Amino acid sequence: MQLINEKVKQAVSILKELNMDCWLTFVRETSVTGDPMLSFLSPSDLTWHSAFLITGSGETIAIVGDMEKRGIEELGVYTQVRSYVESINPELQDVLRQLNPSSIAVNYSTTSEISDGLSHGMFLLLRELLKEIGFDDRIVSSEALVSRLRARKTDSEISAVICAIRETEDIFRLVKGFIAPGRSEREIAEFMSAEVAGRGLVPAWDINHCPAVFTGPDTAGAHYRPTGRVVEKGHVLNMDFGVKVDGYCSDLQRTFYILEDGETEAPAEVKKGFSVIVEAIEQSRLALKPGTRGVDVDAVARGLLVSEGYEEFPHGLGHQVGRFAHDGTALLGPAWAKYSRKPYEPIEAGMVFTLEPRLTVPGRGVVTVEEMVQVRDHGTEYLSTPQMELLLI
């Protein structure tokens, strides 16, 4: 309830800032086709057609099915909670006539999945409903509002993210004692998953590849499930892992080296690769400030790796994290078609990003570290505890 209260108030402020009249979130059977923004508006899923309207003047109105009215009223967030039995149309049309907004921002976007919660079918229904009252030409995208609302983390949101990070770091600490030559990627992942379940937590993304575990050269690559491949001496092993706490995610990667017989430290080429990754993260953190663009921050890390003789990493430097491991619109990434406008979105204070360059050490494996940082007014600070040294097994 605190989260909803914070985000609804924040939405009013952002609407004023953007000079937008009204934000409308239109949903149905949200356990089947949920909108990414619903958790900021309702504490639970909704069955029937429901509408949440927030205006720049401070009106906050919910229209829900009759049997779901009480739960929304108990929030104490909305200035009006209306209900219906047969059809939402009369209630929603009546509210819109009273508000008479010059524009109605709804959750669709061609470039940002986090702002694209309105299904095509629901868009057609809404447009027909608005056409009946002559408002169908007032529909605009809510992307600008939604992007800011997700990006500007409140104190309670940051607190949940930090708790998720600390749990993740603690499980990384424990798994270090479990990793050993002969253990498989799958066994390592199962150890971590058991620890997550034992703490009453859930993974930050699909359990089939959270954690992701990769050992040695020629692995399947990122976003693939752990396999039966076993850890061997001389391997680099890396893991991508996160959990959720109070609905907020962590997303970290750590790199280990499995010592050969007689070794007391990693070989020179592995140490160099690791030091380049650490330096790329630090230099990009220093470059990440309010008003900068993600494409420019990405170029800092990408350029450093290339200058050291490594290939460019095949993905963006970092993404926002929040209620999803990949959250928000602005992205730290190159000017590639698949990222659309995201790398050009201005960076704002309050955003939480990952920084995750990677490189390959031939014959050893992939060296990568992923840290989480928060953009502040004066610069960017680590939320995670940075991995500054290879973890030796």
Query: 269 near 361, Cβ under 8 Å?
Result: yes
Same-domain pairing of 116 and 143: yes
Burial class of residue 391 (count of CB atoms within 10 Å of its CB; 0-12, 13-18, 19+): middle
Query: What residues contact 198, with CB distance under 8 A and at least 6 apart?
Result: none
Structure tokens that stand for 99 in this block: 């508000």
269 and 306: one domain? Answer: yes
Regarding whether 157 and 137 lie in a shared domain, the answer is: no
Asked if residues 111 and 340 have their Cβ atoms less than 8 Å apart, the reply is yes
Residues 304 and 253 in one domain: yes
Residue 108 has pLDDT above 80, yes or no: yes
Question: What integer is the mean pLDDT of 201-218?
Answer: 94
Residues 93 and 49 in one domain: yes
End-of-domain residue from the set 124, 149, 174: 149
Per-residue pLDDT of 217-234, as tens digits, reads 987 667 678 999 999 999
Instruction: Give the whole-angstrom CA distance, residue 191 versus residue 196.
Output: 9
Residue 196 has pLDDT above 80, yes or no: yes
Tell whether 128 and 243 lie within a shared domain.
no
**What pLDDT score does 225 carry?**
86
User: What mean pLDDT is predicted for residues 10-26?
Assistant: 97
Residues 139 and 175 in one domain: no
What are the percentages of helix, strand and coil residues in the chain, rounded to 5? Answer: 35, 25, 40
Cα distance between residue 35 and residue 9, in whole Å = 19
Give the angle subtended at the CA of 83 by the CAs of 2 and 87, to the nearest 5°.
130
The residue from 117, 149, 181 where one domain ends is 149
Report percent pLDDT > 90 for the chain: 97
Q: Are residues 140 and 159 in the same domain?
A: no
Mean pLDDT on 206-224:
86
Q: Give the CATH number for residue 138.
A: 3.40.350.10
pTM: 0.95
Beta-bridge partners for 240: 212, 253
Domain hosting residue 107, numbered range = 2-149
- Quote the tokens at residue 370: 């992923």
Per-residue model confidence as pLDDT tens digits over 151-182: 999 999 999 999 999 999 999 999 999 999 99
Q: At which of 149, 169, 184 does a domain end?
A: 149
The values of phi and psi at residue 280, to 5°, are -65, -40
Give the up-direction half-sphere exposure of residue 64: CA atoms within 13 A in the CB hemisphere: 22
DSSP calls for 337-381: GGGTTGGGSBP-TT-EEEE--EEEETTTEEEE-BEEEEEETTEEE
Name the domain count of the chain.
2
Buried b (16+ CB within 10 A) or exposed e, 193-218: bebbeeeebebbbeeebbbbbbbbee
**What does the pLDDT look like over 270-309, one tens digit per residue?**
999 999 999 999 999 999 999 999 999 999 999 999 999 9
Is the confidence at residue 68, as pLDDT, over 70? Answer: yes
For the chain, the maximum distance between any two Cα atoms, rounded to a whole number of angstroms, is 80
- Length of the chain in residues, anyone? 393
Q: Are 264 and 385 in contact (CB under 8 A)?
A: no
CATH, residue 240: 3.90.230.10
